[in-house]
A and B are shown apart, each in its own frame.
Chain A
Amino acid sequence: EDQVTQSPEALRLQEGESSSLNCSYTVSGLRGLFWYRQDPGKGPEFLFTLYSAGEEKEKERLKATLTKKESFLHITAPKPEDSATYLCAVQSRGSARQLTFGSGTQLTVLP
């Protein structure tokens, strides 16, 4: 059974204070690892897909990296508008085409 664990559950940062979110996963062959951002009252918004260990993707102040056991979402010099819940999900080769989500990290960036 695919499992995804995200840490920390909540993170409070000062504006400009860089940090990283962690996503540990267990899958029977990784097809893809996904990062989403979710704002209150809205659906998850797609950020990145990573396919193999060593791969990195960047978007503005966000950079996602992948190893064989975990993924990190690095946030550089965050701004208050980066406040949201960040969700990690995996899709495995052995299962059907669904995504298995972690419980998310709630990020608050204070001005």
Chain B
Amino acid sequence: DAGVIQSPRHEVTEMGQEVTLRCKPISGHDYLFWYRQTMMRGLELLIYFNNNVPIDDSGMPEDRFSAKMPNASFSTLKIQPSEPRDSAVYFCASSAQAGGRYGYTFGSGTRLTVV
């Protein structure tokens, strides 16, 4: 398996623009997680899905953030409008169980820079 695939790897955008991050989980994994990593706050959970349904979005910082999972093989995280404080590395992870014996598999991340 190719693992969790995220795109793009790097994104530089201007403040106020819309940004869409993409994730393809591992086939057969029924949990998908979006995390954000910064130097100040470390890894923070934004939202997670089970069988394509959003279960907990309490970590989404504001209404500017939205996430969708239209099918089992694709998810998006959208920021509209983007702000400089959104600059971070965004990770997608998937799991066959909710963090069980084999943990979560993370993608390589999208480094977002908002200028």
Contact = CB atoms under 8 A, between A and B. Distances in A.
A39 B90 CA distance: 15
Nearest to B31: A97
Interface residues of B, number: 26
Interface residues of A, number: 24
Contact of A97 (B59, B99, B109): B99
B99 A42 contact: no
Interface in B62-96: 91, 93
A36 B105 CA distance: 10
Contacts of B55: 96-97
B59 to A, nearest CB: 8
A88 to B, nearest CB: 11
B99 A99 contact: yes
B92 to A, nearest CB: 8
Interface centre among A89, A91, A96, A102 (most CB of B within 10 A): A96
A44 B106 contact: yes
A78 interface: no
Nearest to B42: A103
B107 interface: yes
Interface in A20-42: 31-32, 34, 36, 41-42
Given A49-B100, A91-B99, A104 B42 contact: yes
B56 interface: yes
A98 B45 CA distance: 7
Contacts of B105: 46
Interface of A: 31-32, 34, 36, 41-47, 49, 87, 89, 91, 96-104
